[in-house]
Structures are given as C-alpha cells and as structure tokens.
Structure 1
Amino acid sequence: MTSLTQLARARLIKLRWLSVGGMFAAAVLSPHVLGTGEVMHRLLAFTAVVASVSLAQPLLGLLDRGDRLSPFSPLLQLGFDLAAWAVYIYLSGGATNPLISIFLPLVAIGASVLGRVQAWGLGIAAILAYSFLWRFHVPLPVPDAERAAHLHLAGMWLVFAVSALVVVWFIRQMRQAVRERDAALAEAREKAIRNDWLVAMGGLAAGAAHQLSTPLGTLGLLVDEWLDESALPAALHDDLALMQRQVAVCKQALTQLTERAGQPRGGDGMPVGQWLQGCLLAWQALNPAAATDVAISPRLDGVGLPIDVSLERALANLLDNARHAGATRIDIRAERHGGELRVDIDDDGPGIAPAALADLAAGRPAASNGGMGIGLLLTRAALERLGGRLALQRLPGRGTRASLLLPLAPSSGETT
C-alpha cells in the first residue's frame, strides 16, 4: 500500500508544474496587461530556472533516503515552492502584485500534509516572505494609477479562484487517500481478528479431539465385546455393526485432526477429482442417509489442488449446512471455470432467507436460518485465506446454491 507521504509527494510534484505553468502564463501575458515587455524577460528566465529544478527531481530521487529532510520530503517541496514564488513576486512588484496571495494555498496544503512544527514553520516563513516583499521588490512599470488598481483587483480575483480550485483538489485527493488507507487497515485488522478467531477455534477443536478420544475408544471396546457375545440377538447385530463403523469413522477423523493440526498448506498439488471423491466419500460415510448426486468434470483430472485440511472442512461444512437446512437431496457439480475450481452444491431445502443472506454478507452468523451459522462463516474464512471465495444464492422456487470457488494449481501432469 502506498504511504500518504508518497502520495503527498506525487501531488506536490503536480502542483509544482502547475506553478511553473502559472509563472510562464503570467510572464507571457505581462506585456499585454502592463503595456510593456520590461518584466517579461526576467520572469521567463526565472521560470526556466524553476522548470529546470523540477526536471532535475528524478535525478535527486536517486539520493532520496525517505527521511524527513530528503529532496522529496513535503517540507522541502513546499519550502521550494514558497521561495520560488517569493522570488518571482519580488521581480514583479512585490506586495503590490496580486499573485502574492498564492502563499495562502501553499500554507493551507502544508497544514494538511506536514506535522505540527513543520506546518507552523512554513506558515511563519510565508508571513516573513510577505513582510519582506512589502518593503523590498522590483516595482512594476504601470504609469496609470487607475489601470493599476483595476489590474490589481482583477488579479486578486483570478488568484483567489485558482487558489480555491487548487486547495479543494489537493485536499480532496488527500482525503480520498486517507479513506483508502483506512479501508485497507480496517480490512487487514478484520483479517487478523478472523485469523486469531480461527486459531482459537482450532485450539478448541484440538482440545475436543483429545477429550473425545478416550470415550470413543471405550465405546469401540464395548461394541466389539457385544458383537463377540454369542447370546446377542440377531436383530441387534446390524445396529451394532453400524455403530462399530460409525465409531471407526469418528476415531479416524480424530486421528486425522490430531496428525494434521497445525500442518501448513501442502506445496504439491493432488488431482482435484481424486480429492473431491475422497472428501465426498468421507462425508457420505458419516451421513449414509443423505441422498446425493455427484458430477465431477473430466477437465479436473489434469489440474492439481494444494492439500489443506481447512479446505476439506470447508467442503464438509457446506454439505452439512445443506442437510441441516432440511434438504432431502443434494446435487454436487464440480468443474473447471477458467483458472478456478468451481463446486456448486444445490439443495432442495426451504432456501436461505433474504435477512439471513444479508447477515452472512455482513460477516454475522445467520442464526435465523437453519444450517447457516458459525460453520458457514468458518468456511468463508478458510476460502478467503486460500485466495478463494464463497457465493450463496436462492434457487428459483426452492432451495439454495452454495458455490465454492478456489484458484487451481497446475499439477505435474498438466501441459501448458
């Protein structure tokens, strides 16, 4: 992100060239305004000096160390502009020249971009320059006093109009830069808070896995002993076998959680189709009663996806949300969409309510909508951390579509 100091420097350079243009225009018009070309040559010569210094700024930038007194510091930029205008006005009538009002926008701009001490210093320097030019200057050759008064008033109006436009333009530009910086800082702060929250949730999950391991082991032993009982009624055998498989799945999930807790994102990609099939089979093993229809595009066989446990949990959360929302059927379609993986999960549930959709867009759990709570926010956070995004929409008539989009990594077998 570009710093405000760099933005101020860029705008001050534009302001410098605006000053050069104003000096040149005033010098060229002086014979027509004053009726004599006596001052034009010296004003053009000095304007050329100021323009040469401005052209030399890229060379001075090589010496820029970024400190407060570097050649590109806002203080020295504004100080040079103030000194340049002071000399220009000295050569063209001093305090009687209406261009002397150009000191005021320079002071106003300095007050908006400089620190307190520097801004006060620039203001005092402008007052001293004005005071000096009141006493010492090269007089303008205007013999007609009435014409001189008329020109002075017209010049004052022109300088005021130009100064007002310049001050409004500069301050609006800086305010826009401040808003953009604040928005970027707020986004970074929100991401940091969300990441801290995810770390805390991960710690809770790890603690829960540790606490559940012993009860699951006990349940597994009890089920095994009951299945070994010869007096077990045949009607209970199938139920206990199902319980045994479910306990094994739970133990496997806890084992994976323990082994992969804190594991960084894998650098090697695995085929997307293989990854999706594995995730869906694991979810269906935990939800055998769920009716699903899966369609994975063959185009995904040639691309890879970095392994990340949070991504697997994100996909499982979307499927869980669809089932908890009251869906009787879940359609899953995966395809390659440009350089992204797109997974659409459609359900025939009651559909997400508009109020719940607004809550989720604002980053709040949609407690009023079944299946759209904390899990969905965790899913969105995990996808955003991996460079992806989550989109939700109501389907025509009935149901909700959750779209998972994630950047794909080329696999070793993909041709470019």
Structure 2
Amino acid sequence: MTDFSTELLSSDRRGNWIRLRTIILVRWIAIVGQVSALLVAQFGFGLEIEYGLCYLAVGVSVIGNLVALFVFPENKLLSETENMFMILFDILQLGFLLFLTGGLNNPFSFLVVGPVTVSALVLSVRSTLIVATLAIAMVTLLLNFHLPLRMQEFFILRIPDVFLYGNWGAIVIAILFSSLYSRRVVTEMSSMADALAATQMALAREQKLTDLGGVVAAAAHELGTPLATIKLTSSELMEELDDNPELRDDAALIREQADRCRDILRSMGRAGKDDLHLRRAPFSAVIEEAAEPHLDRGKAIFFEHLGLVDGPEIPRPAEIVHGLRNLIQNAVDFARTTVWIETEWDEERLFVRIMDDGKGFPPHLIGRIGDPFIRRRRSEKERSQRPGYEGMGLGLFIAKTLLERTGAELSFANGTNEEMGHKEDGLGAIVEVVWLRSKFDANASSGSLGQNPRVEA
C-alpha cells in the first residue's frame, strides 16, 4: 500500500471528508427546532424570557448559513479546523440560548451532548477534547449564571438544587460517555474498513500476478507473425548480400536476434497458457507453493504430508495461496529456528497446520487474533525481527479474511511439549486451517479435468 493510499484510508483524516452542505443542512434543522421551541414558549406557555435576544441568536445562525450557502460552493469539503470551529460555534450559540432561557433548568440543556458526539465521530481526538472541554465548562457556568424562566405572573420556574446538580452531572457524564463510545465505535469501523481495503488491494495484486501469465501468452501469439516476417526478410537479405560481407553479417545478426525473441516468447507462452492443469494442483503442492518465498529466509521449514499420496487436487485461487503465504510468513518471522507445515485429509475435511518454535501468541491476545490492527508495544528484539511491521493484526486479518472467503475455518493456539513432542524448545504458535472437501475439493464436484475443449481448424 502506498503512502498516499494509506493517508486516504487513515481515520485521522475523517474530519476533512465532510461537505459544507451537510453542516448547513444540519444547522437548518437546528434552527427550525429552536424557532419552534421559542414560538411554543411564547404563545403556548406564555413564558417571559428575552425573546429579542433569543431570536437574535437564531438569526446569527441563519445569516451564517446564508453566507456559507451563497459564498462557497455546495461541494466544498471542510478542513479539520473548519469543522471544529463550526461545531464550537453551534455549542456557543446553544449555550447563549440556554443562558437566556433558564440554564440547566431548561430541559433542552441536554442538547449540548449532540455537537460533542458529532465531534467524536468525525474529528480527531485533539479537536474532540477541545469541544468536550468547552461544553463541560459551558454547562458548569450555566449552573449558576443564567436568566430565570418566568411565567406571565412572574412566577420563576426553577427546579430544586439537588435536581439541578443532578442535571449537571448527567450532562457531563453523557458528554464523556457519548464521546468515548462514539469514538470507540467509529475507530473500530474505520480500522475494519482500512483492513478490508488493504485485503482487497493484496488480493488484487495477487490476481494481477496470476493474470499476467495470460497476457504473456497473448503477447507471444501476437508477436509470432511479425517475428517470422523479420526472420524471412533477413534471410532474403543474406542471400542478396553475398558480395557484401559486412552487410550480410548485419542481416545474419537480425535473423539471430529474431530467433532469440521467438524462443523467449515461446517459453513465456508455455508458462502463461490458460491450461486447466494450472488451475488446480495437488493439495500438498499448493501448500508448498505458498511457502516457497520463505524457504530461504534463514529458518528451516519442514513439510509433513500425512498421507500416502500428494492429496486430492484442489483449485488454486489467489485467495488460498496469498492467505496461506501470510500465515507462513508470520510463523517464519517469529520462529526461532524451525517451522513445521503439516497437511492432512480424510473423506470429509482437509487440514493444514502451521507450527513454529517461537514464543507463541501472547495469551491475552489469542481471542482477538484476526481482528485488524492489534496494537501492542514491541521490544527492540521484536523490532529487529520484523522491522517493517507495526503489529501482527493486519497480516493475520488479511490471511483470515481471504481464507474464510474460500470456506476455511481458522483456529489459533499455542502448543505444548506433549502436543508438539518433535520440537526441541518450549511452546510455539499453531494455526490450523480446515476446509470441508464438499465445498473445496475440486474432485468432489467434478472428479476430472472436464471435457477437452474443441480445437477449431
């Protein structure tokens, strides 16, 4: 994944994705609600409050919306700072209205929680802390500083102090809880979205490498004719240039290089042909293919096929090879000296077990393995072991996601000396991948390579 794509996927940039039009729409809804509440208070309940100042506060929001609507384009994306100031303005405007209408005696004082929740959903932690701090400070001031609510008979509407302080405590708790809860949920969603995007990119890359063989075969076929023409023309030139040795040698060189290009394309074409035999392979061969890039990384890898033959023939899509390759890479990275890969099959299921002689999975993380972006502090030894990795979450998430798309079930555990008696040194990690043969084994459904395609003359 490139730095640019990582930046686009980063959850820290969510605050730059909100359109000004969205903020304007939400503010219009708030304005309608505020005006409706003021009209009901004035004509429905006959409350005596500073309606002039209240309508002035609402009018400021209206003017701000109209200016933003006519000055800026509708598709303008607000920056993190612009969004924060928009939310701060809404909080201050709401606080001024609450100051004019009884402070925390006003049942609408709980609306202060709304802007803070929005900030936790879309802005950074720093911006959310600023917004939440301002909101808590504002409701604290409104506890003692506000204009009273009066009826037409000048009777003051005021709740007892115990309920007033209860409202303050409830609002502060709601601000903190909604901020933390919303932030946690949106972080989980963002991490999952980032991990799924990374999985799709990894699968697309693997699929491109698989499709490259077909492109090579097509190129070999298309370039065959012009190369044959070059060879024929150079041969004729050699016959006509018998009396000019220097030019005849040049023509001979052209024919020689044309033959060389033909041989290269022929060998590449054989490797890239869409052969049905290349679409599937013995079960053990697919496992060895997945492990091939890690055979020369300084760790011993032993294969153990618990059967008399290489196992049933299975399809070999990119998901299987890339998923198993990630699991084997993780085992090689954390193994001390040795990795064991066992394959086994019976009438109903296919098994792959990948074991290493490392320290094993951290016990407190075994239940979370497969979740994206598991963060933990690493020692200097682990950093030197895997210098390019921030954690073990994303790679295993990609492997788990790709393999589960093929119908596999994965389980993660740590081995014991009794279970892994052939190991010399302590505990190690075990990853087991299981498929049902009825869903996975090509022979279970077709039993052969299928009918030979008809060759047109």
Q: TM-score, length-normalised on structure 2?
A: 0.39
What TM-score comes out, normalization by structure 1 length?
0.42
